[in-house]
Structure 1
Amino acid sequence: MSTTALKLNAPRIEAALIDLDGTMVDTADDFAAGLNGMLAQLDAEETTREEVMDYVGKGSEHLIRSVLAPRFAADDAQSRFDEALALYQDEYAKINGRHTHLYPEVEAGLAAMRGAGIKLACVTNKPYRFAVELLQQYGLAHYFEVVIGGDSLPKKKPDPLPMLTACERLGVKPEATVAIGDSENDAIAGRAAGMATLTVPYGYNHGQPVQKIQSDGIVATLLDAAKALVAHNDLT
């Protein structure tokens, strides 16, 4: 299916809420490096990019619990969680962005959306300060009117609260908004908020095939997403 001929069950799209890790930036190697810095201090076995990719997308707490689970007995993993999380955040702060790269056509896609009058928010489960730092490193921060991190609100994706809050801050209705991401969390949150959803085929998606995600369509890149949205708006 052509990404420029998607049939979105939505009125004119006024805003796009875009995920960060796995959608705009490949950060799996940063996660692995930060986790390995933490695990070394806990005298635990190192992790790998491949293991980490299965855990990304549900926030730092989930990431830490998932990495500790196969390395410690359940009670020990629970008792070490707070220490592990603090160590991880310290380690990640040292290397945020060091081992990352932008996915193809990310900036071109963001520029095309903004050029078409579409408002943008970055909605991620990554801690807010790390998300802002990463967007600034890659010169993407100016495209976004709103950034919501995993610690910005009481709930994170797949709960719809971050999506609804982003819409409120952008001054748009959910039904005039699209959520774009690489994982089921993005689509679930978007659907629950009453907005259209698009999925990119790269990224992480908790180790599951992207084709299993229930969204309004798969777009090869953010530039293709922009083209699809412009085409949709031209018809409405």
Structure 2
Amino acid sequence: MNSISFDPTRFDAAIVDLDGTMVDTLGDFAVSLNHMLDDLSLPPVAPAAIEKMVGKGSEHLILSALAHVMSSGGHAPSGGAAAEALQARAQALFDRAWERYQHHYLAINGQHSAVYPGVVEGLKALRSRGLRLACLTNKPTSFAKPLLAAKGLDGFFEFAFGGDAFARKKPDPLPLAKTCEALGTVPARTLMIGDSSNDAKAARAAGCPVLLVTYGYNHGEPVRGVDADGFVDSLAELDRAAA
């Protein structure tokens, strides 16, 4: 850990992201998206490309995957009329794609994913030191809650809010502000733990300290380049830091 000093007396609660922070769900995304694309008679997308699309909610993920496979050679045009036309084609398929994606994701949720090493130790450390915990993710609530349960993590959290729980998603600060309200804590004493610039931007705007893990999904960018208060290679470092 660097920058931030994990002193439990500094915080009353922690808000923890899900995908890329607690659970490596890239396998679930890949299987569900590629089943969806097959249903639409479209070619598959590689996990390496999917990893860069994760983090902004299912709508963004699906539209990004559609645009990726419909573009020439998997390289979407970056601007102009061609990019607008491609986005329009992807949007026209969205309703059908979302229905198929939801069908497949709910069928395999958690089967191709794994809890990252150190997560359970870190959550236990937070709880043992009196912090109240909430999970806040851009993943739909109907996906997030069963995943937490399947991985044995649901018992750590008083609340679990998905990307459809509030009017806006991270990186907007609204979900963090509303989660702090639910926890009954002020943002300055509520630690955000995530894996990407989405989490950091939302935390900064909401007034929450933010700690990022170094192993998750950050849209293909180096996570240590993100404006955050600290970084950890494992949530188990929280236990060692507070010991």
Please report the TM-score for the alignment, with normalisation by the length of structure 2: 0.89
Aligned positions of 1:65-214 closer than 5 A: 65-72=63-70, 73-214=86-227
Query: What CA distance in whole angstroms lies between the structure 2 residues aligned with 1:40 and 1:105?
Result: 36
Query: What CA distance in whole angstroms lies between the structure 1 residues aligned with 2:38 and 2:187?
Result: 44
- After TM superposition, give the deviation of residue 76 of structure 1 in Å: 2.1
- After TM superposition, give the deviation of residue 221 of structure 1 in Å: 1.3
Match of 2:21 among 20, 23, 47: 23
What's the RMSD between the two structures over aligned residues? 1.8
Structure 2 stretches lacking a partner, 5+ long: 71-85
1:88-133: per-residue Cα shift (whole Å, max 9, x none)? Answer: 1111111100100110111111011100001111000011121110
CA contact under 8 A between 2:3 and 2:230: conserved in structure 1?
no
| Paired residue secondary structure (2:231) | coil
Q: What amino acid sits opposite 2:101 in the alignment?
A: Y
Please name the residue that 1:53 is paired with. Answer: 51
| Paired residue secondary structure (1:70) | helix
- After TM superposition, give the deviation of residue 8 of structure 1 in Å: 7.4
| Paired residue secondary structure (1:17) | strand
| Paired residue secondary structure (1:16) | strand
Please name the residue that 1:234 is paired with. Answer: none
| Paired residue secondary structure (2:33) | helix
Q: What amino acid sits opposite 1:98 in the alignment?
A: Q
| Paired residue secondary structure (2:219) | helix
Query: What CA distance in whole angstroms lies between the structure 2 residues aligned with 1:187 and 1:88?
Result: 28
The total of aligned residue pairs comes to 228
Query: What CA distance in whole angstroms lies between the structure 1 residues aligned with 2:155 and 2:87?
Result: 44
Query: What CA distance in whole angstroms lies between the structure 2 residues aligned with 1:133 and 1:215?
Result: 30
1:25-84: per-residue Cα shift (whole Å, max 9, x none)? Answer: 000010000001100011111012111100000000000110111233443222111111
* C-alpha distance 55-4 of structure 1, shift in aligned 2 (>3 A): closer
1:202-236: per-residue Cα shift (whole Å, max 9, x none)? Answer: 011011111111100111211213444x37xxxxx
* C-alpha distance 9-164 of structure 1, shift in aligned 2 (>3 A): farther
CA contact under 8 A between 2:2 and 2:230: conserved in structure 1?
no
Q: Which moved more, 1:66-75 or 1:111-120?
A: 66-75
Please name the residue that 2:78 is paired with. Answer: none
Q: What amino acid sits opposite 1:196 in the alignment?
A: P
* C-alpha distance 46-87 of structure 1, shift in aligned 2 (>3 A): same
Identity %: 49
Query: What CA distance in whole angstroms lies between the structure 1 residues aligned with 2:39 and 2:164?
Result: 25
Match of 1:40 among 30, 38, 45: 38
Query: What CA distance in whole angstroms lies between the structure 2 residues aligned with 1:8 and 1:142?
Result: 23
Please report the TM-score for the alignment, with normalisation by the length of structure 1: 0.92
Structure 1 stretches lacking a partner, 5+ long: 232-236
